[in-house]
């Protein structure tokens, strides 16, 4: 930066000297100042290129490379994230299907167990009814036997009384 100022000051000083000399000569006086000004301009361009334009260009190129690299990485990460999201959604859907299948199987098992218990309860009730019927039949048989014995005994008594009344008379 300081070189640029020094070169500009020198160029201005030389331009002033050239102007003073130009006043001496004609409109376009071609003496040693024109090539000297051209050399100074070329030196100024070379210095500015070395000190300003190349570092600035390199910085811009580095920044462009950095932005492109980050953009590419961001796209890759976004694609990866989208793939992971799809994979997780598929896994979630599969897990939901499996849980629904487990729930359906559990409900089916519960219905089987309930039907089995109902059948067992019905069989037990039927067995109790049959047992009660058998008990009633047994009691009925006992009552019939008792009645037959009592009828036989009463018949015998009636016959004995009838026969005893016939033989007396």
14 has pLDDT over 90: no
Encoding tokens for residue 156? 């015998």
Encoding tokens for residue 107? 């409900």
The model's pLDDT over 33-45, given as tens digits with 9 standing for 90+, comes to 778 888 899 999 8
- Classify residue 28 as left (phi > 0), alpha (psi -120 to 50) or beta: beta
Give a three-class secondary structure readout of 14-27. HHHHHHHHHHHCCC
Read off the pTM: 0.41
User: Confidence band (pLDDT; 50, 70, 90) for 160?
Assistant: confident
Domain residues of the chain, as ranges? 2-146
| 3-state SS assignment for residue 137 | helix
Asked if 44 and 11 count as a contact pair (C-beta separation under 8 A), the reply is: yes
Look at 16 and 114; give whichever has higher pLDDT: 114
Q: Which sign does the torsion angle of CA 161, 163, 166, 169 carry? A: negative
Encoding tokens for residue 111? 């219905």
């Amino acid at each position: 930066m300081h070189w640029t100022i020094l070169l500009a000051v020198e160029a201005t000083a030389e331009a002033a000297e050239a102007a003073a000399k130009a006043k001496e000569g004609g409109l376009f006086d071609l003496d040693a100042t024109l090539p000297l000004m051209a050399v100074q301009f070329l030196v100024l361009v070379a210095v500015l290129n070395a000190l300003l334009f190349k570092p600035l260009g390199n910085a811009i190129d580095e920044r462009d490379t950095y932005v492109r690299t980050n953009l590419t990485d961001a796209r890759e990460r976004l694609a990866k994230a989208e793939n992971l999201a799809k994979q997780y959604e598929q896994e979630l859907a599969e897990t939901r299907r499996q849980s629904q299948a487990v729930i359906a199987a559990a409900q089916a098992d519960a219905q089987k167990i309930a039907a089995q218990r109902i059948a067992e309860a019905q069989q037990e009730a039927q067995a109790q009814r049959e047992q009660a019927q058998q008990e009633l039949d047994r009691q009925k048989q006992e009552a019939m036997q008792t009645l037959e014995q009592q009828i036989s005994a009463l018949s015998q008594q009636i016959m004995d009384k009838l026969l005893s009344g016939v033989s007396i008379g």
